[in-house]
Amino acid sequence: MTAPSPHAAGPLFAAVDIGGTKIAGALVDSAGTLAHRIQLPTPARESAAEVLAVVHRVLDHLAAAPRWGGVTAVGLGSAGPVDLARGTVSPVNIPGWREFPLTAEVAAHPAVGARPVALAGDGVAMAAAEHWRGAARGADNALCLVVSTGVGAGLVLDGAVRPGPSGNAGHLGHITVDLDGEPCPCGSRGCLEGVASGTAIARRALARGWRPAGDDRSARAVAEDAKDGHPVALAAFDRAAQALAAGIAATTTLVDLRRVVIGGGVAAAGPVLFEPLARHLDRYAALPYVRGLDVRRAELGADAGLIGAAALCR
Ligand SMILES: [Zn+2]
């Protein structure tokens, strides 16, 4: 056993964040500081065993750290859906993993030993991170969203992150905001994600005649043109903001909360998203207890998944 370094106060956690494009790992101390980081591409189209092999490489790297002996628990954040009761994950964008026993496979890694392994979906992990160290700090009730290629979210209620029985509470991307809308890969239709994700913003802009100046056809390029006043680009962000406002208003009205934290690549567009969002929230969040919601930008960026995975070990 290697003793924890003397400057590391409190427990040390190993965190692994599994997404459709990257698998990241780090050691996280009780101040939320990341060390001994690693990030590898996700072989998302490969077999279950090949994806797991990358997770094991991340664990190998973490276990080689001098401070590994001080690690008290392993936290896993994964693209969802997840099943906490069974310790399985079925990430939509990793087809090889369906009801994949992630918790058991990580616990079986030789270096993990008897350490407990905690699992969460990525939206819940982000909410845990922002509640611990970010823009939801100090809020007893908050909705934390990630708006990027998809739309995920997690809920803080009565002072704690609430994953729900299966671990998927706050799955805001798949509530219906358009009653007769497009079919969604989840099986429903008119889902928020199908209107407000970065993918949806770019698709809508392209369908209405927006053409990028360069090779980038993503929502990031749409955002740049929107900042320059391009009407189709502005309209695509306005539509996404309208859908987000409807989803946020529904959630805050349902569970009675005022703090809303928004992160992810689409949120990085800044005022192009947040200005129409405020306007639409003013229309949809109508009852007195949800008027004037406290909407904030997320503070932890791409590290939220790792910090959240560690937060769940606490
Ligand atoms: Zn859906």
What are 158-174's pLDDT values in tens digits? Answer: 999 999 999 999 999 99
Q: How far is the CA of 260 from the centre of ligand 1 (A)?
A: 21
| pLDDT given for residue 185 in this prediction | 86
Q: How far is the CA of 48 from the centre of ligand 1 (A)?
A: 24
207: buried, middle or exposed (CB in 10 Å: 19+, 13-18, 0-12)? Answer: exposed
| pLDDT given for residue 9 in this prediction | 62
Q: Is the predicted pLDDT of residue 223 greater than 90, yes or no? A: yes
- What does DSSP say about strands 117-121 and 71-78: parallel, antiparallel, or unpaired? parallel
Q: How far is the CA of 176 from the centre of ligand 1 (A)?
A: 7
Average of per-residue pLDDT values in the chain: 95
Tokens found for residue 47: 């077999």
Q: How far is the CA of 3 from the centre of ligand 1 (A)?
A: 47
Dump pLDDT digits (tens) for 87-141: 999 998 899 999 999 999 999 999 999 999 999 999 999 999 999 999 999 999 9
Q: How far is the CA of 229 from the centre of ligand 1 (A)?
A: 31
Q: How far is the CA of 212 from the centre of ligand 1 (A)?
A: 28
Q: How far is the CA of 184 from the centre of ligand 1 (A)?
A: 5
Q: How far is the CA of 178 from the centre of ligand 1 (A)?
A: 11
Dump pLDDT digits (tens) for 55-92: 999 999 999 999 999 999 999 999 989 999 999 999 98
Q: How far is the CA of 277 from the centre of ligand 1 (A)?
A: 21
Contacts of residue 83, Cβ cutoff 8 Å, sequence gap at least 6: 89, 90, 99, 166, 167
Q: How far is the CA of 187 from the centre of ligand 1 (A)?
A: 6
| pLDDT given for residue 80 in this prediction | 87
Q: How far is the CA of 155 from the centre of ligand 1 (A)?
A: 19
Residues that place a CB less than 5 A from ion ligand 1: 174, 184, 186, 188, 191
Rounded to an integer, what distance in angstroms lies between the CA atom of residue 165 and that of residue 37?
31
Task: Give me the mean pLDDT over the 254-267 stretch.
Answer: 96
Among 1-10, 38-47, 114-123, 281-290, which is the least confidently predicted range? 1-10
